Every structure is written in C-alpha cells, then in structure tokens.
Amino acid sequence: MTEIKPNFPDWEGNLNDEYIEGVVNISGSEKLIQKTIQENRANPVFLPDSGIDFGNIRSACAIALHMHQPLIPAGGGNLQTAEIISNLKYMFDNQYIGDNHNAPVFHWCYKRMGEFIPQLVDEGKQPRVMLEYSGTLLHGLRQMGLHDVLDYLKKITLDHNYRRSVEWLGCPWGHAVAPSTPVQDYRLHVLAWQHHFAAIFGLEALSRVRGFSPSEMALPNHPEIAYEFVKTLKDCGYQWVLVQEHTVERPDNGHQSEQPHIPHRLTCTNSKGETVSIIAIIKTQGSDTKLVAQMQPFYEARSLSRWELAGKSVPPLVTQIADGENGGVMMNEFPSKFFEVSNDSTGSDTPLMNVTEYLEHLFAMGIKEEDLPVIQPTKQKQIWDNFKAGEGPEKLETVIETLKKEDSQFHMDGGSWTNDISWVKGYENVLGPMEKASALFNEKVIKGGVSSNEHRYRNALFHLMCSQTSCYRYWGQGLWTDYGQEICRRAIDILTYDF
C-alpha cells in the first residue's frame, strides 16, 4: 500500500511573514526548513563561544523553562461563536476569577529571561537557560499585542553577545501529547512549530534548535507509535530529546538507568523490525517547579564527580525542566535564585551548561553517539520477551492484548511527567471528536493533495492542532472538555465544508 504524504510545494516557501492571510505561518515552507537544517546540521552551535573548561569540570547543570498557554473559544459569551483567544487574554480580562490575578506576573515571566540574561552576561557571568514555548503561546502573545515579550526574546536569541547563554527547544506546536495524538498529526505539529519559530526569529535561529521537549514529557511506549515519534524528530533535524526517567527502561532488565546524568540513546523498533534512535537526555524526578525555581539541579550536580563513558572521564549533567511561570515559587523565588546560582557557578567546576553545548563538548573529546548506553520506552521489555521484531503488526497487537490480560499494570498509554494522570481514560468525549477531525484532515487534505501553502490548509491545520492541546484532557470533565469539543467541532466543520 502506497503511503500518502502531505503535498509540500516545490517552491522553497515564505518565512518572512509571521501571518499569511490572517493565519499564523505554520506550513508551506517545509522544503526550505529541511534544506536549512540539513545544511547546518554539522555546524556546532555553542562550542566556539562556550567558555567552559570541559576537561576540568566535575559536573554541570542544565535547566529548561517550559512556557505554554492554550487557545480557547472564550472571546465572547457564546461558546459556539466565541473568538479563539489565548487563555492568558482570558486571565487578563477576568482577573477577579480564581488565580487569574496572576496574568500580569505571567506576562513578565514570559519575557524576563530577556532581562536576566543580558544583565548577567554584561556583569561577566555565564548564565545558561533552555527555553521551550508552545506555538499556541507564541500566537497568543502576538494576538494580544504583547510584542514586548517577543522583542525581549529576540534579543537573547539573535544578539551574539547573549545567544550563547540561551538554547531553544523544539516542541509540538499545539502542545499535543505524543502517545495519544495520531502520528501523522504529531509530525505536522513538529513542522508547524519550526515554521512559526522561523517566522519570528529567522531561519538561522531555527538552524540552532537541536533539542526537543515533548509536551507533558509524554513518551509513547507502543512500539509503532514510539518508532514514528523518534523518526519524526530525526526527520525534522533534531539531535536529542528530553525524557522523564520513569518513562524509559534498560532493554536488558527493564529497570531505570543507573547513570541518569549521562546522555543515552533512545532506541525504538516497530513491528516490521525497523529501528531508529536519538540521543536522550534524562530528566530526573517529577514535575515540581520548586526543583528549578530553587535551582536544585545545581546543588545536586555539585555533589557529583566525573563518570566513565566509553573509556573516557566525563562530567555528569543534571537536567531539569519546569513550568516557567506556574506557581508562587517559580513566580517569586526563581529570579533571585537564578542570579545567585549564575554567580556561584561562573568559573566553578560545576557550571551551568545547555544540553547541546554539553553534547558538543562531549563529542569534541571523542565520544560518539554509538558509545551511549541504550534505553527504550517503558514496558517494552515485556513485549520483546514475547515478540520478535519483524513478526508484523497483527502478532504485535495479539501479544499486547495478552500482556494486558496477564498484567494489570501493563499498558500502552505511554508515560509522562506523572503516573497519576491519563491522557486517555475518561476523555472519550474529547478523543472521539479529535479522532474524527484527524481522519477528515487525512482524507480531505492529505489524500486530497491540498498544498500546504494554501490558506485553507493552514486554517484547517490551525484548528486541528488547537483541538489536540493536552489542556482539554488535564482538568477533568467540565469547561475545559467543552472547550476541546468546541474546537473539534469547528475543525470538523472546516474540513467538511471548505474542502
């Protein structure tokens, strides 16, 4: 059966405009993006200007800030006709409700690294931070007229004096969770974010984005979906992915890694026996903003010494990610702690480093990707103990169903930052419409051969991706599932009547 692929135009595309015909620039320049990434893949990003004496440090610390606001149909009193706006705008407009009074602080959180980094660098310090902003947040900020945020971010992204301190991480545009998002749609999320980022910051800045941060730290563990997830990242030019420690296992015994602070190689195999791998950076512990707000990774790193990898002595890297705006600790305590640690770590044997910077130093000393220890998604050892790669999808599904009956703890829902939340169970009323919208997009747009440079393609894709935002399956049944269903309804209407 011939695979039907999206119709990406032969022309290189337009990434000069952030919006095209009123829709955010999320498609149409796939070949230009691919060309840019391929041409720059071998070029080091941070190594020439790093300033870290890698051979003499004991350990290092990396922190990432995850920033996200969903888009919701709340720009009006009628759910079915309300404008799709940022949840941040809703917070600003309704500050008397719940925690919405935090809206101005959130606004500051989204831009404050653009204040902190220049100040510290100009003082002779070596700050480091990784940033991950969802496409829905970036669109919402622009839609609200909060141009100051993007201007501050441009400064630390493009100014050569400051950009060595900042690493951007890619992510799915609509904050979709990989295990329960159709694989073809997830690829479109990844491509859409690359478009949007390049339209704001430029192609050169995009060529420096080497790491990927999955929304909700969600990693698929079904062999077919996990394979496609990693293949998507590799095809889109990513070098490494951030994973949660309890979502991966060692292939030999199914246990967690004993050395989580060195890079690993995430290897995924599908039912046909095809294998793909990508460098994985393991994030330890759960998603607690206190860990990053109080710069706990730095203090953990100071307690560690160099480890052996492929016969060489290497410094471990303690890595954490947390919401960059959520919670009082992050809003109030992070700034002073970030300044304190940036001061203390500069010139020390436990510096702050970004992941790509660390990897470039590692490879410069002769370590190769194949030297890294192998991990795989959790629960897969049980599969490979009962299934031989290459036996095909039907046999695989039979094995999975048997394992589910034999072991109540066995599942193929993937893993995320917490084991307490399912992105599937109890959300059939949202997942059903999501799947219908996805099927229609595949039928009407992909199989229909609609060019990704057409307005109707972008408009349909925008609504499809908005409908797959994880927030509609996080807060339980109620207003948020209503939001999800309404955006699905709009996506289905567009796909039914505009094609």
Q: Which of 359, 378, 375 is nearest to 367 (CA)?
A: 359
For residues 262-275, average pLDDT: 97
Higher model confidence: residue 426 or residue 358? 358
The pLDDT of residue 409 is 87
Inform me whether the pLDDT recorded for 426 exceeds 70: no
pLDDT number for residue 406? 94
C-alpha span between 482 and 476 (Å, rounded): 11
Per-residue pLDDT for 418 more than 80? no
Is the pLDDT score of 325 beyond 50?
A: yes
Task: Read off the pLDDT of each residue in 191-195 and give the average, rounded to a whole number.
Answer: 98
DSSP conformation letters of 158-215: H-TTTGGGEEEEE--TT---GGGS-HHHHHHHHHHHHHHHHHHH-HHHHHT--EE--G
pLDDT score of 425? 55
With 90 as the cut, is the pLDDT of residue 481 above it? Answer: no
Task: Report the chain's terminal Cα–Cα distance, integer Å.
Answer: 25
Candidates 212, 223, 171; CA nearest to 192 is 171
Task: Kindly report the average pLDDT of the chain as a whole number.
Answer: 93
How much is the average pLDDT of 350-374? 97
- Which pLDDT band holds residue 480 (cuts at 50, 70, 90)? confident
| Residue 425: CB atoms within 10 Å | 11
pLDDT at residue 456 above 60? yes
pLDDT category of residue 474 using cuts at 50, 70 and 90: low
pLDDT of residue 419: 59
**pLDDT top residue among 452 and 422:** 452
Q: What is the structure's pLDDT at 167? A: 98
The residues that bridge with 307 in the sheet, in sequence order, are 314
The residue with tokens 């044997």 is 349
Q: Which residues contact 321 (CB under 8 A, 6 or more apart)?
A: 63, 64, 65, 66, 130, 132, 213, 217, 242, 283, 287, 292
Degrees (nearest 5) of the Cα angle 123, 129, 132?
Answer: 145
The two structure tokens encoding residue 180? 């329960």
Which residue type sits at 187? R
Q: Indicate the pLDDT class of residue 4, thresholds 50, 70 and 90.
A: confident
| Range with lowest mean pLDDT among 117-131, 186-200, 274-288 | 274-288
Look at residue 423 in the predicted model and tell me its pLDDT. Answer: 46
**Which token pair is 154?**
């441009």
Residue-wise pLDDT tens digits, 43-84: 999 999 999 999 999 999 999 999 999 999 999 989 999 999
- The structure tokens 């990513």 sit at 238
| Whole-angstrom distance, CA of residue 255 vs CA of residue 481 | 36
Q: Of the given ranges (269-283, 416-430, 478-492), which has the lowest mean pLDDT?
A: 416-430
The structure's pTM equals 0.95
129 is written with which tokens? 């931070």
Instruction: Residue 239: count other Cβ atoms within 10 Å of its Cβ.
Output: 19
Residue 100: is it exposed, middle or buried by C-beta count within 10 angstroms (0-12/13-18/19+)? middle
DSSP 380-421: HHHHHTT--TTS-HHHHHHHHHHHHHH-TT---S-B-S-SS-
At 277-321, the pLDDT tens digits run: 999 999 987 656 788 999 999 999 999 999 999 999 999 999 999
What is the full DSSP assignment across 43-71? S-SSGGG----TTT-S-EEEEEEEE---E
Token pair 């840019």 is found at 36
What average pLDDT does this structure show over 135-149? Answer: 98
